[in-house]
């Protein structure tokens, strides 16, 4: 039987790959834009947040993120996984408004990164683009057997999951998944992928935190009932709070993950899980699958980039069967 050996949670923000002197150019948010996106303003004042934007502090935080990425990668590789099950969100990449499943599992034999071109992204993302997409179409091998098994087992567990085995024409594997291979595991031989896509962004059918807990538990059972002798690692891609950083919410999540407190994960506030912060749902799902495995925060870095409190709460977390 397959064994879940552990895994990781990792932010995939462009700021990880943009030099710190480019963070401020990457974007600010004014009050009307906050309201339009359904975001609450930062609890901190602009005067208070100005102290977060010093060049030395931003450089130190950028460096801390690089160290945390490397440590997360090393701990993931130490698990010696044979296949990666990545829980991420799709941001109008494979799914558009013609159909938007709450949960979807791909079980074909490969998926392609069909790059949109750097011109489709803000100029401030020039340095980060290559960590999301290649220059040409790039094929990712997917584990069809495990993907199909996960679909069948989730259905048996009462979770009505979307499934597909053919990539929609003209649509690309999303950056939540390519980032794992192009940045976290940059330059390494690619392990087979099973992508699980949550609709974290787009109303009205985003899974609630409680539903994500249920999904995570069922996903653990599905993986461990797979009859292949394979070592499986689970990865949560995205988050934490952004584009407005909420350090209290981020630390509440990380604390609940360390304590394996599913009740607290299920209570995380739905009204706060909007825009990029919605990717916390990916972490809830993976965390609920990890009971009995040791979880620890590798680092948490509040990477502010403006006096509006915009930026990204960078989270790095690992689970393993050890206690180191």
Contact 195/151 with Cβ under 8 angstroms?
no
Contact 295/15 with Cβ under 8 angstroms?
no
User: Looking at residue 228, which CATH number applies to its domain?
Assistant: 3.40.830.10
User: What SS3 string covers 116-134?
Assistant: CCHHHCCHHHCCCHHHCCC
Letter string b/e over residues 69-95, b meaning 16 or more CB atoms within 10 A of that residue's CB:
beebbebbeebebbbbbbbbbbbebbb
Contact 243/27 with Cβ under 8 angstroms?
yes
Banded pLDDT at 30 (limits 50, 70, 90)? low
Q: What is the mean pLDDT of the chain?
A: 94
Number of domains the chain is built from = 1
Q: Are strands 311-320 and 294-304 parallel, antiparallel or unpaired?
A: antiparallel
77 closest CA partner among 318, 324, 323: 318
Banded pLDDT at 103 (limits 50, 70, 90)? very high
Distance CA 284, CA 8 (A): 12
306 closest CA partner among 122, 45, 121: 45
Structure tokens, 133:
């997409």
CA-to-CA separations, 87 to 122, 147, 236, 237, in angstroms, rounded: 26, 12, 5, 6
Average pLDDT over residues 243-268: 97
57 occurs within a structural domain? yes
107 occurs within a structural domain? yes
204 prior amide bond cis, ω within 30: yes
311 occurs within a structural domain? no
Tell me the torsion sign for CA atoms 217, 85, 153, 138.
positive
Express as a percent the part of the chain with pLDDT over 90. Answer: 88
Angle of helix 247-259 versus helix 280-289 axis, rounded to 10: 10
Which pLDDT tens digit goes with each residue over 107-166? 999 999 999 988 888 888 888 899 999 999 999 999 999 999 999 999 999 999 999 999
pLDDT at 32 over 60: no
DSSP for 178-247, written as a single string: HHIIIIITTTSPPPPEEEEEE--SSTT-PPPHHHHHHHHHHHHHHHHT--S--EEEEEEES-SS-SB--H
Q: How many helices (H) and strands (E) does the chain have?
A: 9, 10
At 164, is the secondary structure helix, strand, or coil? strand
323 occurs within a structural domain? no
Banded pLDDT at 259 (limits 50, 70, 90)? very high
319 occurs within a structural domain? no
Which residues, at least 6 apart from 56, have a Cβ–Cβ distance to it below 8 Å?
A: none
What's the pLDDT score for residue 24? Answer: 86
Which residues, at least 6 apart from 228, have a Cβ–Cβ distance to it below 8 Å?
A: 1, 2, 145, 146
Lowest model confidence (mean pLDDT) among 40-44, 187-191, 255-259: 40-44
**What is the domain range of residue 123?**
3-302
* Helix or strand holding residue 308 (H, E): none
315 occurs within a structural domain? no
Which pLDDT tens digit goes with each residue over 235-253? 999 999 999 999 999 999 9
278 occurs within a structural domain? yes
Cα dihedral: 154, 158, 159, 164 (round 10): 60
Contact 28/310 with Cβ under 8 angstroms?
yes
pLDDT at 295 over 90: yes
What's the pLDDT score for residue 321? Answer: 85
Distance CA 150, CA 313 (A): 31
Express as a percent the part of the chain with pLDDT over 70. Answer: 97
């Amino acid at each position: 039987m397959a064994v879940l050996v552990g895994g990781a949670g990792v932010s995939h923000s462009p700021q990880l790959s943009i030099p710190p002197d480019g963070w401020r150019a990457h974007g600010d948010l004014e009050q009307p834009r906050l309201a339009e996106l359904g975001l609450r303003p930062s609890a901190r004042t602009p005067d208070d947040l100005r102290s977060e934007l010093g060049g030395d502090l931003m450089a130190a935080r950028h460096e801390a993120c690089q160290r945390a990425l490397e440590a997360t990668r090393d701990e993931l590789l130490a698990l010696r996984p044979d296949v990666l099950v990545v829980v991420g969100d799709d941001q109008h990449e494979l799914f558009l408004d013609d159909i938007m499943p709450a949960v979807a599992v791909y079980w074909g034999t490969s998926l392609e990164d069909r790059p949109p071109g750097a011109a489709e992204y803000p100029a401030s993302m020039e340095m980060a683009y290559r960590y999301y997409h290649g220059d040409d179409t790039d094929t990712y091998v997917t584990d069809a057997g495990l993907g199909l098994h996960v679909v069948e087992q989730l259905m048996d567990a009462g979770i009505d999951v979307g499934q597909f085995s053919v990539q929609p024409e003209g649509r690309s594997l999303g950056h939540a998944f390519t980032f794992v291979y192009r940045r976290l595991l940059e330059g390494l031989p690619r392990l087979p992928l099973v992508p699980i896509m949550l609709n974290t962004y787009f109303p009205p059918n985003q899974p609630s935190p409680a539903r994500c807990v249920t999904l995570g538990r069922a996903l653990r059972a599905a993986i461990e009932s797979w009859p292949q002798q394979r070592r499986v690692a689970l990865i949560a891609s995205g988050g934490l709070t952004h584009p407005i950083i909420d350090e209290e919410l981020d630390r509440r999540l990380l604390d609940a993950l360390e304590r394996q407190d599913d009740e607290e994960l299920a209570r995380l506030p739905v009204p706060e899980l909007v825009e990029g912060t919605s990717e916390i749902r990916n972490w809830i799902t993976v965390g609920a699958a990890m009971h009995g495995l040791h979880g620890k925060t590798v680092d948490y870095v509040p990477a502010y980039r403006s006096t509006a409190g915009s930026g990204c709460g960078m989270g790095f977390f690992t689970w393993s069967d050890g206690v180191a």
